[in-house]
Amino acid sequence: MHTPTDEQAQAVDVFRAGHHVVLQAGAGAGKTSTLALLAASTRHRGRYLAFNKDIARDAAARFPGTVLCKTAHATAYAALGHRYVRRLNSPRQPAWRTGQALGITKHTRIGDHDVSHRTLSHTVLRTVTRFCYSADRALASHHVPHLRRLSTADEHRQLIDAVMPFATKAWADLHNPDCGVVRFEHDHYLKMWALTEPKVEADFLFLDEAQDTNPVLEQVFAAQRNHAQLVMVGDSAQAIYGWRGARDVMTDFEATHLTLTRSFRFGPRLAEQANRWLALASAPIRLTGTKEIPTEVGHIACPDAVLCRTNIGAMTEVMRLLAGGYQVALARGGHTLSALALAARELKSGRRTTHPELVLFASWGELQDYAEHDPAGRDLQPFIDLVDTHGPDAILAAVDKLTDEESADVTVSTAHKAKGREWSTVTIAGDFSPPKDSEQKDDQGRPIPEPVDDADARLAYVAVTRARSRLDLGGLSWIDDYLTQRPGAIPDAELPGGRSLVGA
């Protein structure tokens, strides 16, 4: 353990004084080490709620024995979930079979679309999952997800009317600990536990990755305020799971707000790159790198990892690298890519697919037309181009050629799946597109680009901070031109020492 920084020492002092704490910890800024310092500074007994099992296991090896390190799900399982162990071990089955058992046996006509019993069944189960992520005490209409092509408010209301009775029936079915027709998942018992308004027995409670906390866990954590000292740690600039129901609970939490801004992962040059995106995302921190780490920014011929914005981008990179003769690994495997390729094969053969994004399309041609002409379908165009170029069978064959990371020459990952990880050398893939041009012109008549979206800036920040020794900006290299074309995008005052990032 290195000598604590001034920021870490301040965190220890505030914690020992008994205050609730929000700790904004930048990429590689030693958040786990800092939490270990806090835990070691007291004899009180604490709990650490980790984002996943691996993080919990790592923390348990570093924290004193007075701190119990578990995931939120493990905590809920010990309290209530173990009652449902028989159902947790039940075999998987298609959503339509579950729907059939709930009484969904025929299609529903909504507007100009036939919503099949398979689609309705899948939507019912997604509705229950969205409820489980929420802090709500009962299922409600806003838990019903929107479906592509049901674009009007009236069509969505009809979908709600069709879904809600079966979603209510599914949630009731899940409460039987011995048997039922709905497959029981870990998120189900977490929600049931939260609804009991549990008291977590501890003198202090650490919540890790707080910027990506689902409302259901936020509610449980905040409810412990009256009997336990609360410490949440995370990085608001890495809040990239909003699409999954998570939200950044740190900014508005009533506590003493502190920061960890020195990164022990990389040097000053990469910190400058990170600060560009932190400023564009209006994040509450700026980073400084460790001077003894000579991180470089420049071209990399053979990186350890290639980070992509989307699963489609990852699929493109996998196929490019395999064609170049590389041994390629894909972070967390190829299930997502296989599912998309299988959906494409079904549509190209004239059959409907059960893929949740594509359930309302009857054919591949219908999907092509939607992506080309409907603004809501533009995000599907790279997927369609990839399938039209290579075919679904070639994509499936590429997935079969993937190897494990230990044996691979290069690992391909989305930026989302790379969060919490690091590699020596990292290249950013080409699917991080620059903002579109606005109708405004500069003094030379050139179009001025639109502002960078906050969510895109946060994802770019995550991507560029995965490297330790060298970063190839690749698909994010447009940031230099962007800052030249929008010189006020990052005010000089935003940077340490008042420096401008333009051309940094």
Name the residue among 398, 394, 486, 498 with its Cα closest to residue 449: 486
Q: What confidence score (pLDDT) does residue 244 get?
A: 61
Q: What confidence score (pLDDT) does residue 211 get?
A: 86
**pLDDT 10s digits, 247-289:** 677 888 899 999 999 999 999 999 999 999 999 998 889 999 9
Q: What confidence score (pLDDT) does residue 504 get?
A: 26
Integer Cα distance of 316 and 330 in angstroms: 12
Is residue 1 over pLDDT 60?
no
Q: What confidence score (pLDDT) does residue 246 get?
A: 63
Integer Cα distance of 202 and 330 in angstroms: 39
Q: Put the strands of the sheet holding 410-414 in their side by side order.
A: 296-297, 467-472, 423-428, 305-308, 410-414, 328-330
Buried b (16+ CB within 10 A) or exposed e, 191-220: bbbbbeeeebebebbbbbbbbbbbbbbbbb
Q: Report the percent of the chain where pLDDT is more than 70.
A: 94
* Cβ count near 52 (within 10 Å): 12
**pLDDT 10s digits, 407-437:** 999 999 999 989 889 999 999 999 998 998 8
Q: What confidence score (pLDDT) does residue 338 get?
A: 87
**pLDDT 10s digits, 143-161:** 999 998 888 999 999 999 9
**pLDDT 10s digits, 283-311:** 889 999 999 999 999 999 999 999 999 88
Query: Which residues, in sequence order, are bridge partners of residue 296?
Result: 470
Is residue 229 over pLDDT 90?
yes
Integer Cα distance of 45 and 191 in angstroms: 26
Integer Cα distance of 480 and 292 in angstroms: 26
Q: What confidence score (pLDDT) does residue 502 get?
A: 30
Q: What confidence score (pLDDT) does residue 499 get?
A: 36
**pLDDT 10s digits, 172-215:** 999 999 999 998 999 999 999 999 999 999 999 999 988 888 89
Is residue 202 within 8 Å of 228, Cβ to Cβ?
Answer: yes
